[in-house]
Amino acid sequence: MTKQSKRLYLNEVATRDGFQNEAAFIDTDDKIALIDALSACGYAKIEVTSFTSPKAIPALRDAEAVMHGIARQPGVVYTVLVPNVRGAERALSCNVDEVNLVMSLSESHNRANLRMTREQSFAQLGDVIDAMRGTGVAINVSLSTAMGCPMEGDVPLATVLDWMARFAERGVHGITLCDTTGMAYPSQVRELCERSRAQFDALELTLHFHNTRGMALANTLAALEAGIVRFDASLGGLGGCPYAPGATGNVCTEELVHMLELDGYDTGVNLAAVLDASARLPALIGHDVPSQILKAGRRTDLHPLPGGVQGMPEQRAFS
Ligand code: COA
Ligand code: ZN
């Protein structure tokens, strides 16, 4: 398949990865209105919220109300983050299409984020997988710090592949490799994606980049070269893990779509509609968002000549 005709699948994570980090609570009705707008943008998937402990993530304590309140668009997969069986039961009561389980591949980050060892997490997520059996709900696992840990540094490729194999054996449908704190770099991403695709061709593989060090778009291109077609992205570039020092936003949806469209990819996503939705964010969350496209516009959004400038040389009348 040529690059020009390649279909990509985007998962919008702003209302989960983004909103979980916001200090001020965003009203449930505002969350619902934003998700309804996102549902009309052409995403393959939307990560709506998380069914975590309200003490750990108070910003998303209205998860049930949000899930019940949104108008679900046929063809969009509505997924939610779930840390344990309790979360899975709450998610099932809302008829989600998919649950997104989460653990970190570095011991320190897992302890900070989930208050468990990795083995305890794996056992607990195994219980969730058992609880989901026969429900028809898809299971994805997001593996945090897969490209580096802010406390431990590099995470060996063999460690990533080992944990992927353990989840593949448990029968999950998809795995998301997360660069939780923007430590990944392109050649690392390419190798990780090539090895993962070769070993786990039956799994839906998704890449989740944060732009902490400005490398998210470069890493996306590296993943594309390695054949990855699924990406998480966040409206306005919101996002960040509350348990990762210095973490900043995910790759920005409109920057990603803008770049991919220019290179001829079919993202399924309507850039104008995404920009409209992104423009609503500052009022909703009370602060500016990282999005460069929101500030600068698309590359072909032309500007009037500044006042006092006479116009193009060839348009001037020379005597
Ligand atoms: N939904 C609602 N409440 C939950 C819950 C869930 N899925 N899981 C646990 N709780 C509640 C418990 O009922 C308990 O409440 P109580 O203090 O009123 O009795 C409290 O949370 C603590 O439960 P416990 O089982 O001791 O868990 P914990 O304190 O070790 O927390 C997690 C473990 C994983 C549930 C919690 O740390 C969490 O939700 N973390 C969020 C992780 C996250 O989303 N990070 C960002 C994304 S990567
Ligand atoms: Zn993230």
Q: Give domain status of residue 313, yes or no.
A: no
Comparing CA positions, the residue from 2, 1, 6 lying closest to residue 261 is 6
Mean pLDDT of 176-186: 97
102 lines ligand 1 (CB under 6 A): yes
Ligand nearest to the CA of 104: 1
Q: Give domain status of residue 310, yes or no.
A: no
94 given a catalytic annotation = no
Ligand nearest to the CA of 113: 1
Q: Give domain status of residue 3, yes or no.
A: no
Distance between Cα 241 and ligand 2 center (Å): 6
55 lines ligand 1 (CB under 6 A): yes
Which atom of ligand 1 is nearest the CA belonging to 17? Answer: 47
pLDDT digits (tens, 9 = 90+) for 121-144: 999 999 999 999 999 999 999 999
Q: Give domain status of residue 304, yes or no.
A: no
Q: Give domain status of residue 307, yes or no.
A: no
pLDDT interval class at 164 (50, 70, 90)? very high
- Reported residue count of the chain is 319
- Which residue owns the Cα nearest ligand 1 atom 18? 55
Describe the crossing of helices 253-262 and 216-225 by its angle, rounded to 10 degrees. 50
- Please tell me the total count of domains within the chain: 1
d(CA 221, CA 227): 10
pLDDT, residue 134, reads: 94
Which atom of ligand 1 is nearest the CA belonging to 83? Answer: 34
pLDDT digits (tens, 9 = 90+) for 58-73: 999 999 999 999 999 9
Q: Give domain status of residue 319, yes or no.
A: no
103 lines ligand 1 (CB under 6 A): no
Q: Give domain status of residue 53, yes or no.
A: yes
Residue to substitute in 53, 124, 179 for testing ligand 1 pocket (most ligand atoms within 8 angstroms of CB): 53
Distance set, CA 295 to CA 41, 160, 254, 261, 286 (Å)? 20, 37, 11, 19, 16
Residue reference for tokens 């960040």:
240
d(CA 111, CA 188): 25
Is residue 10 over pLDDT 70? yes
Is residue 4 over pLDDT 80? no
Which atom of ligand 1 is nearest the CA belonging to 116? Answer: 30
Catalytic residue among 94, 178, 193, 241: 241
Q: Could you tell me the CATH number of the domain that includes residue 255?
A: 3.20.20.70
pLDDT, residue 310, reads: 80
| 103: its two tokens | 């653990």
57 lines ligand 1 (CB under 6 A): yes
- How far the first Cα of the chain sits from its last, in Å, is 57
d(CA 21, CA 58): 9
Q: How many CB atoms lie within 10 A of CB 187?
A: 9
Could you tell me which residues are beta bridge partners of residue 231? Answer: 10, 207
Contact in structure between 170 and 199 (CB atoms under 8 Å): no
Q: Give domain status of residue 314, yes or no.
A: no
Question: 67 phi and psi, to 5 degrees?
Answer: -60, -40
pLDDT interval class at 1 (50, 70, 90)? very low
- Which residue owns the Cα nearest ligand 1 atom 7? 87
Name which residue leads in pLDDT, 259 or 244: 259
Domain assignment of residue 82, given as a range: 9-296
53 lines ligand 1 (CB under 6 A): yes
Distance between Cα 276 and ligand 1 center (Å): 35
